Amino acid sequence: MKTRCFEKKYEMMGRDELSALQGERLRSMVARVYQRVPFYRRKLDEAGIRPEEVRSIDDLVRLPFTTKIDFRDQYPFGLFAVDMKKVVRVHASSGTTGKPTVVGYTRKDIELWSRTCARTLGCGNGTARDVVQNAYGYGLFTGGLGMHYGGERLGATVIPMSGGNTKRQILLMQDFGTTLLCSTPSYALEIAEVAAEMGVDLRKTKLRVGFFGAEPWSDNMRKAIEERLGVTALDIYGFSEVIGPGVASECLAHCGLHVFEDHFYPEVIDPQTGRSLPDGQPGELVFTCLTKEALPLIRYRTRDLTRLTHEPCACGRTLVRMQRVTGRTDDMLIIRGVNVFPSQIESVLLEIEGTQPHYLILVERRDRLDEIEIQVEVDEKLFSDEIRKLEDLRNRIGYEIYSILGLTAKITLVEPRTIERSQGKAKRVIDKRVI
């Protein structure tokens, strides 16, 4: 199989050489965070580990984990390992409650990120001759700017579309000769449907490969996307805490996602015991950033479930592969590409006078788009009041939810004791989507 790598030296490095490189990078990273991040110094001290005891990559399993709670506790910049004057960019994703999870990049981190996103495009044999239509959202979300810089770093021509404006996407796709599409898989299907309504056959355009990620999807969706858009659909994975997109990417051999492990070292652990699991066993994915300057993380627990394999791949890359993410260990939902924790919705509701702490979140996929409805019980007396008061409350909740999540939710106010009570753990979410 014909493989074009953006950084062959690293993507096809011998395993022994790669391990040695990882060990060296781990050593220097641990020494750096010990010196510069009080949070890590405390954690390593508590675990009784001196930085100089970390000699090879095998020592990683002795180090403590980092979690999303640590981001919340160190909000906003407490985990940064450099002075703010070296930080040239911040991004953010959803935290578990009102505060976002904030991540930072130095100039060198941006260069690293550009390269790993260029590698991602390289996994679909992308080159400087390609035209990349980037339909990931630009802004605090990492998808847009990450893939944008990756495209430019590759030397390709980037069309910075962001999400939405679907008819325009289709028009430019034809007129500019787009060859590579970057979007969430659900948005790719939306593009296909709108194109069909417009009478445009996307299979006749120059579109060649799509880089789809940021949300869970399935082989059925892959088939539908490939048929309707006439592309090879690749699964790409990443998350903001470690960098954004550009952590792992499927190649044209379609047998798992190559993890760019010379920078982001993956482990799979048993989520209950924290014990590292061998190849092939499913568990929680954990990442260590070996080279990042602004935010180097030690053993960050992603909560994503998958398996790893070191079996050789037909493309020739030697990098470890992760299988498609099959679920999460927590209750995070991804709605229209936005990460949503039910606890975020709860904290909004609890702050609004007139609501009761009984609510239900309903998620559906209608006309290819995710829809979210929040049913919430309100005080008895509001129902005997004027309708206008209920209307005001509904608008207020909708507004607050939008300002925290950036999502428009349908808000339904219901009378007290309408929502079913549970005997044990309350069921707060009904997700009816079939992906």
Residues that bind ligand DLL (CB under 6 A): 93, 136, 141-143, 213-216, 235-240, 244-245, 302, 304, 325, 328, 334, 339
414-433 burial code (b ≥16 CB/10 A, e <16): beeeebeeeeeeeebbebee
| Least CB distance to ligand DLL at residue 304 (A) | 5
Asked if residues 130 and 156 have their Cβ atoms less than 8 Å apart, the reply is: yes
Residue 18 vs 233, nearer CB to ligand DLL: 233
| Least CB distance to ligand DLL at residue 338 (A) | 8
Matching residue, tokens 């044990």: 424
| Least CB distance to ligand DLL at residue 374 (A) | 21
| Least CB distance to ligand DLL at residue 213 (A) | 3
Neighbouring C-beta atoms of residue 291, cutoff 10 Å: 16
| Least CB distance to ligand DLL at residue 111 (A) | 18
The token pair that represents 200 in the structure block:
């445009």
CA-nearest of 352, 288, 326, 366 to 62 is: 288
Residue 166 vs 240, nearer CB to ligand DLL: 240
Residue 11 vs 215, nearer CB to ligand DLL: 215
Residue 27 vs 336, nearer CB to ligand DLL: 336
Residue 257 vs 360, nearer CB to ligand DLL: 257
Contacts of 359 (CB under 8 A, 6+ apart): 345, 346, 349, 374, 375, 376, 377, 419, 428
Query: Rounded to an integer, what distance in angstroms lies between the CA atom of residue 249 and that of residue 234?
Result: 7
| Least CB distance to ligand DLL at residue 104 (A) | 14
Query: Rounded to an integer, what distance in angstroms lies between the CA atom of residue 433 and that of residue 365?
Result: 5
> Which residue number has the CB closest to ligand DLL?
213
CA-nearest of 195, 197, 213 to 205 is: 195
| Least CB distance to ligand DLL at residue 249 (A) | 9
Residue 340 vs 393, nearer CB to ligand DLL: 340
| Least CB distance to ligand DLL at residue 24 (A) | 28
Which backbone phi and psi does 103 adopt, to 5 degrees? Answer: -130, 150
The token pair that represents 416 in the structure block:
């007290």
33-47 burial code (b ≥16 CB/10 A, e <16): bbeebeebeebbeee
| Least CB distance to ligand DLL at residue 292 (A) | 15
Residue 44 vs 233, nearer CB to ligand DLL: 233
Residue 223 vs 410, nearer CB to ligand DLL: 223
Residue 130 vs 250, nearer CB to ligand DLL: 250
